[in-house]
Amino acid sequence: MARNTKVAADPNAPPVTRTLAKLVATHPSRGWSDDVEHQAHRTFLNWVGCAIGAARHDSVEATLAALAMMKPSPQSSVLGRSEKVDMAGAALANGISSHTFDFDDTHLRTIIHPAGPVASALLALAEVTGATGRQVIDALVLGVDVSCRVGNMMYPEHYDRGWHITGSTGTLGAAAGCARLLSLDEAKTTMALGIAASQPIGMREQFGTMTKPFHPGGAARAGLMSALLAKNGFTASPRAIEAARGYAQTVSTKNDWNEITDQLGQRFEIAFNTYKPFACGIVIHPTIDAATQLRDKGIKPADIERVELKVHSLVLELTGKKEPKDGLEGKFSVYHGFCCGLMVGRAGEHEYDDAFVNRPDMVELRRKVVATVDDSISEESADVVAVLKDGRREHVFVKHSIGSLERPMTDAMLEAKFRDMGEPVIGKARIDAAIAACWDLGNAKDVSAVVKAASSS
């Protein structure tokens, strides 16, 4: 027999489910600044590039093999590939591929990777409904706003507890975006959010396995299905997010409801999205950036006697692997990161393959890097001195890495990253067309230019 005991329950929480639904259903198209509009296109472009980049990874192969057992209708495209599957399957597959390299976007305040759940659901749905590019961008901005505001409300307790916040908030963002794309009214959008609220996805224990990228993929699919159910009359609690036994109070003991309403419809969280220039954990980025700056000064690996690297203790705690043995270990090595920057001026997915990690000149250079902890240096910074064989000491201090909010990647850098990931998969001609189609999405009559270029069907 169940008891009525309440745990951490606040029965008087404000009606945030309805508040978010109202925003999603009624906010004007392109009702935001040019900066927000541009950031939405950057988010979309970066997401497409990441999805193409990992399109032939084992995680995607396994997903498509599982979906094929359902004999899906060829409704929607899988980026970087020739297969089409039903829209829910495409949302799943593209969400998985876009997060497989851990190279997608980051909302730094919550460490949510917002595009995976939302954009994956939207592109798959838009192919079926024939939505305009304008509608897709509108839905992307609003969907990401829902995920990230819910994240702001619960972070950090929710994440600390074990939830992979990208998937656990992403279902709501994807449902919101799809509700907008389907032009659901406020009442049905409330239902879509309500259905989605019963489906948070993802535990941090899965990091390092294919189930990590499954989280945004699963969230995309669940959010899309929630919107389709709501469109067809399925019901949920209109207080599903905030109620005492609803989503937020069940999955987090920190719930700052004001985060939902603060400047709602005026400030858009997608404006704070960032993009990784380097294919590894973000604490390594300032060090790679510093190494790249040394390289730009003309310093070569052969000049190096010793490297004195000072970083915050967290950096070595998370990425202190001194002698990585393969690509995956390389991702957890600030030493390897530095050497990528100095040796080749970049740290993309190619610099994390096993062969590159084990290249003799990389191994030799890594052994010259001495890292020490200095907690007077922020986690977002790195202090590097290259001691050269001729006795010179070259000093670089990176306060904020390239890719941070303070020093965002330029559009040209995003394009270069896109090419770097995508060209080996679908070739230069398609990549040229895909980049152009992504930048033009807000004006496009539908998503056909994007999917024609970015898939290989």
Identify which range of 25-33, 157-165, 291-299, 339-347 contacts a second copy by CB under 8 A: 157-165
Decide whether 86 or 351 has the Cβ nearer to a second copy.
86
Q: How far is the CB of 233 from a second copy (least distance, A)?
A: 4
- Range 292-297, long-range pairs (CB < 8 A, 24+ positions): 292/341, 292/342, 292/345, 292/346, 292/402, 293/396, 293/398, 294/341, 294/342, 294/384, 294/386, 294/394, 294/396, 295/341, 295/342, 295/343, 295/345, 296/345, 297/394
Half-sphere exposure of 39 (CA within 13 A, CB side): 25
d(CA 122, CA 126): 6
Identify which range of 34-42, 211-219, 292-300, 415-423 contacts a second copy by CB under 8 A: 211-219
The answer to whether residue 1 forms part of the interface with a second copy (CB under 8 A) is yes
Identify which range of 85-93, 296-304, 342-350, 438-446 contacts a second copy by CB under 8 A: 85-93
Contacting residue, 33, 35, 58, 427, with a second copy by CB under 8 A = 58
- Of 76, 93, 102, 260, residue with least CA distance to 176: 260
The footprint of a second copy on this chain (CB under 8 A) covers a number of residues equal to 83
DSSP structure class, residue 32: S
The answer to whether residue 274 forms part of the interface with a second copy (CB under 8 A) is no
Residue 158 sits at the vertex; the CA angle it makes with 155 and 162, to the nearest 5 degrees, is 130
Q: Are 243 and 249 in contact (CB under 8 A)?
A: yes
Q: Which of positions 216-255 make contact with a second copy (CB under 8 A)? A: 218, 222, 225, 228-229, 231-237, 239-240, 243-247, 249-251
Decide whether 79 or 90 has the Cβ nearer to a second copy.
90
Q: How far is the CB of 391 from a second copy (least distance, A)?
A: 37
d(CA 351, CA 334): 13
Contacting residue, 32, 101, 103, 163, with a second copy by CB under 8 A = 163
- Of 84, 91, 85, residue with least CA distance to 51: 91
Q: Are 220 and 92 in contact (CB under 8 A)?
A: yes
Strand, coil or helix: what is 27? coil
Contacting residue, 22, 30, 57, 161, with a second copy by CB under 8 A = 161
Decide whether 141 or 222 has the Cβ nearer to a second copy.
222
The answer to whether residue 391 forms part of the interface with a second copy (CB under 8 A) is no
Strand pairing report for 393-398 and 382-388: antiparallel
Decide whether 62 or 355 has the Cβ nearer to a second copy.
62
Q: Are 211 and 259 in contact (CB under 8 A)?
A: no
Decide whether 378 or 443 has the Cβ nearer to a second copy.
378
Contacting residue, 82, 162, 328, 427, with a second copy by CB under 8 A = 162
x/- mask, a second copy, residues 305-344, rule CB under 8 A, reads: ---------x--x---------------------------
Strand, coil or helix: what is 232? coil
Strand pairing report for 273-275 and 105-107: antiparallel
The answer to whether residue 188 forms part of the interface with a second copy (CB under 8 A) is no
Contacting residue, 160, 256, 361, 406, with a second copy by CB under 8 A = 160
d(CA 88, CA 77): 11
Instruction: Give one DSSP letter per residue of 399-450, joined into a string.
Output: SS-TTSSSSPPPHHHHHHHHHHHHHHHH-HHHHHHHHHHHHTGGG-SSSHHH
Q: Where are the alpha helices (DSSP H) in 232-326?
A: 247-251, 258-261, 285-296, 313-319
Q: How far is the CB of 23 from a second copy (least distance, A)?
A: 21
Identify which range of 163-171, 353-361, 395-403, 410-418 contacts a second copy by CB under 8 A: 163-171
Decide whether 122 or 339 has the Cβ nearer to a second copy.
122
Decide whether 80 or 217 has the Cβ nearer to a second copy.
217
Contacting residue, 10, 37, 56, 206, with a second copy by CB under 8 A = 206
The answer to whether residue 97 forms part of the interface with a second copy (CB under 8 A) is no
The answer to whether residue 11 forms part of the interface with a second copy (CB under 8 A) is no
Count helices and strands in the chain by DSSP H and E runs:
21, 8
Q: Which of positions 365-384 make contact with a second copy (CB under 8 A)? A: 379-380
